[in-house]
């Protein structure tokens, strides 16, 4: 489904600011997998999503999506197959358009139909979808999305992503800017939607508890590498404490390696 082989990206190469943001990423995702991604600040998580989404071209390696080599495909072309949500709740929607118009946009784009051909039945369909969110937004279909709260906007963005039926959904801390109760609600909507539509998903989060609870697999990144990849029984038995221990152990080991290199 998604395959990354030896993916590398260095920012500012050959300068004092050189940063190996992706340092040989190997990752294979099966269709329908829901992977949570954790790691400290600057580990390369967002850069990994940017590489997959096509925000920049990688220095070396291969990225395949659904059997197609997308390594050098333009970002806007990948966007047909890859849905993205960000921490910034303004990024996923068109703020000056209404809820109805935003959903119509996602819907007609997917169906290859004109935006202006949206009919009454389509609108009823959108309203039903919005109602299922359980946020009371079905009575505000003509409200501009820019006027909604962050949580409401993320919920609408999720709906748009679901309507567009992407092959891959990338969620980059999409609940981080929300208050805890709203974040929990949006996470529940996320989970329901992914389960129902069986969308292959990667979700970055700093909430380790949520990372272990949601989805079927968890990967941990550190310094541009995947240092940890758990699923199945190993993941079921994992606790936040054990995960922190593993992280410290892995980082310390790497620190020692770095030191050894310096001594050479």
Ligand X SMILES: Nc1ncnc2c1ncn2[C@@H]1O[C@H](COP(=O)(O)OP(=O)(O)OP(=O)(O)O)[C@@H](O)[C@H]1O
State the nearest-atom distance from the C-beta of 135 to Mg ion, in Å: 26
With respect to Mg ion, which residue has the nearer C-beta, 186 or 221? 221
With respect to ligand X, which residue has the nearer C-beta, 22 or 159? 22
- Asked if residue 228 binds ligand X (CB under 6 A), the reply is no
How many residues belong to the site for ligand X (CB under 6 A)? 11
- In the structure encoding, which two tokens stand for residue 170, read together? 């990338």
x/- mask, ligand X, residues 5-34, rule CB under 6 A, reads ------x-------x-x-------------
Q: Which of 24, 42, 61, 95 binds ligand X (CB under 6 A)?
A: 42
What b-and-e string marks burial along 43-68, b requiring 16 or more CB atoms within 10 Å of the CB?
bbbbbbbbbbbbeeebeebebebeee
Q: Which of 4, 43, 211, 214 binds ligand X (CB under 6 A)?
A: 43
Cβ-based neighbour number of residue 226 at 10 Å: 21
* Nearest Cα residue to 2 out of 242, 202, 218: 202
Phi-psi region of 44 (alpha: psi -120 to 50; beta: other; left: phi over 0): left
State the nearest-atom distance from the C-beta of 42 to ligand X, in Å: 4
Residue nearest to Mg ion (CB): 46
Site for ligand X, residues 45 to 84, rule: CB under 6 A = 45-47
Phi-psi region of 125 (alpha: psi -120 to 50; beta: other; left: phi over 0): alpha
Q: Are 186 and 216 in contact (CB under 8 A)?
A: no
State the nearest-atom distance from the C-beta of 46 to Mg ion, in Å: 3
Beta-sheet strands, E only, within the chain: 2-11, 19-29, 34-38, 60-65, 68-69, 82-85, 168-172, 200-204, 217-222, 225-231
Collect all residues with Cβ–Cβ distance below 8 Å to 224 and sequence separation of at least 6: 9, 20, 21, 22, 23, 24, 25, 43, 44, 47
By a kind-dependent CB cut-off of 5 to 8 A, residue 41 interacts, out of ligand X, Mg ion, none, with ligand X
With respect to ligand X, which residue has the nearer C-beta, 17 or 119? 17
Q: Which residues bind Mg ion (CB under 5 A)?
A: 45-46
With contacts defined by CB under 6 A, name the span among 43-51, 91-99, 209-217, 248-256 that binds ligand X: 43-51
State the nearest-atom distance from the C-beta of 147 to ligand X, in Å: 28
- In the structure encoding, which two tokens stand for residue 122, read together? 């389509």
- Asked if residue 36 binds ligand X (CB under 6 A), the reply is no
| Whole-number Å distance between alpha carbons of 81 and 44 | 22
State the nearest-atom distance from the C-beta of 41 to ligand X, in Å: 3
State the nearest-atom distance from the C-beta of 214 to ligand X, in Å: 17
Q: Which residues bind ligand X (CB under 6 A)?
A: 11, 19, 21, 39, 41-47
């Amino acid at each position: 489904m998604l395959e990354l082989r030896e993916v590398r990206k260095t920012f500012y190469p050959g300068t004092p600011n050189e940063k190996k943001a992706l340092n040989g990423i190997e990752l294979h995702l099966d269709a329908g997998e829901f992977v949570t991604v954790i790691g400290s600040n600057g580990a390369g998580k967002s850069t990994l999503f940017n590489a997959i989404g096509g925000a920049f071209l990688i220095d070396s390696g291969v990225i395949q999506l659904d059997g197609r080599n997308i390594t050098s495909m333009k970002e806007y072309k990948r966007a047909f197959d890859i849905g993205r949500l960000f921490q910034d709740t303004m990024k996923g929607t068109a703020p000056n358009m209404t809820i109805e118009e935003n959903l119509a946009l996602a819907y007609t784009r997917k169906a290859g139909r004109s935006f202006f051909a949206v009919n009454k039945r389509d609108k009823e369909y959108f309203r039903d979808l919005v109602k299922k969110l359980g946020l009371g937004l079905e009575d505000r279909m003509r409200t501009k999305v820019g006027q909604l709260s962050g949580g409401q906007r993320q919920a609408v963005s999720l709906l748009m992503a679901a309507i567009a039926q992407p092959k891959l959904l990338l969620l980059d801390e999409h609940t981080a800017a929300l208050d805890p109760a709203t974040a929990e609600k949006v996470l529940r909507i996320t989970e329901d939607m992914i389960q129902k539509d069986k969308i292959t998903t990667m979700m970055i989060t700093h909430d380790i508890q949520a990372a272990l609870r949601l989805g079927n697999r968890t990967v941990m990144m550190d310094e541009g590498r995947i240092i940890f990849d758990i699923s199945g029984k190993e993941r079921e038995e994992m606790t936040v404490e054990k995960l922190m221990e593993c992280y410290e152990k892995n980082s310390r080991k790497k620190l020692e390696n770095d030191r050894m290199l310096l001594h050479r």
